[in-house]
Amino acid sequence: MDLPLVFMALMGAAVLAYVVLDGYDLGVGMLMPAATPEEQSVMVSSIGPFWDANETWLVLGVGILLVAFPAAHGVVLGALYLPVVAMLVGLMFRGVAFEFRMKAQGWHRELWNWLFWAGSFVASFAQGLMLGRYITGFEPGFGYLLFAMVVGASVCGGYVLLGATWLVLKTEGALQAKALAWSRWGLLWVALGVGLVSLATPLVSETVRAKWFDFPGTLALMALPAACVWAGFIVWRSTGRLAAGGGARDWQPFAAAVAIFAISFLGLAYSLFPYVVIDRLTIWEAAAHPSSLKVVLAGALVVLPFIVAYTAISYRVFRGKARGGLYD
């Protein structure tokens, strides 16, 4: 068994789960200023049972990086020290604001709502910035930093799309109508961001350029952007039909938005493989000793089923439409 490859797959799955699950509640947080106080109460209720547990996947992904790829852990977190701190500060602001807004009244509640938005935005942008720096191999220079900032803005748009489509699934009435409009704006934001990042990525990374333009492999790779466009079309069509009064299920926009993220993640994995740190460390060069990996794998096989089961049960228990007042 190729243990480094197994752990790379586990880490990738954990990161993707975090991006999707925490992405939608970060997106809901960024949409808070666009809603009325009553709608904000429903929005918070829609993510209340899940948002804290969703961050478990981030801890799992970083933990796997530390124990399975210690050499890469030092390089990655050393190069991304400032955006990691910004992300953690943003997540802390979110947690504090979520709890304090329940007790606050008047302008104090409005203040905590804005801090909840600020924490969501800072955490989202920092994650995108880290992804952009990671793709460039942490190269210095203004052009590379500008690319990372574009990726950061694109990730914010992606999370807004996830958050808006989540609200389509979990709300009804006027708020759902607003969420349908937000979903369409979010989709346009994502389309612009993905387009700009896709054009710029081959210019900032020779490794990615070589993978993308390696004919005839490029022809097979074209299936990924085609599938991404199709998922975007599903979001647009289903939100339009729901806004018109029927013809689509309220889960379809969210499912299609998740598909966009999953397809993009597959494209990223293909572009960077076999590197953990692009152009520096491969999966096998960065991996811990096989005896250590065997012990960690045994622990992961015990813990992971509990995490997956808890996540599935929580979403099962709290299914259905959200209502206001649960976290007021």
> pLDDT tens, 82-93?
999 999 999 998
pLDDT for the residue numbered 325: 59
Question: Which of the residues in the chain have pLDDT under 50?
Answer: 328
- Report yes or no on 3 lying in a domain: no
- Cβ neighbours, 10 Å, residue 89: 14
pLDDT given at position 119: 92
Query: According to the model, what pLDDT value does residue 157 have?
Result: 94
Does a structural domain hold residue 89? yes
326 belongs to a structural domain: no
pLDDT per residue over 27-79, tens digit each? 999 999 988 888 888 888 888 888 778 888 888 888 888 888 888 888 888 88
Query: Does residue 327 belong to any structural domain of this protein?
Result: no
Q: How much is the pLDDT for 189?
A: 93
DSSP-derived secondary structure letter, 35: S
**Within-domain flag for 225:** yes
- CA dist 286 and 273 (Å) reads 13
Q: Output the CA–CA distances (angstroms, integers) from residue 34 to 6, 66, 161, 167, 282, in the order listed.
A: 43, 39, 14, 13, 44
Whole-structure pTM value: 0.92
Tokens of 121: 């935005």
Query: In this structure, is residue 115 part of a structural domain?
Result: yes
Which structural domain, as residue segments, surrounds residue 34? 11-317
Number of domains in the chain: 1
Is 313 inside any structural domain? Answer: yes
Pairing of strands 275-277, 281-282: antiparallel
Q: What is the spatial distance between Cα 151 and Cα 135, in angstroms, rounded to a whole number?
A: 10
Residue 1 lies in a domain: no
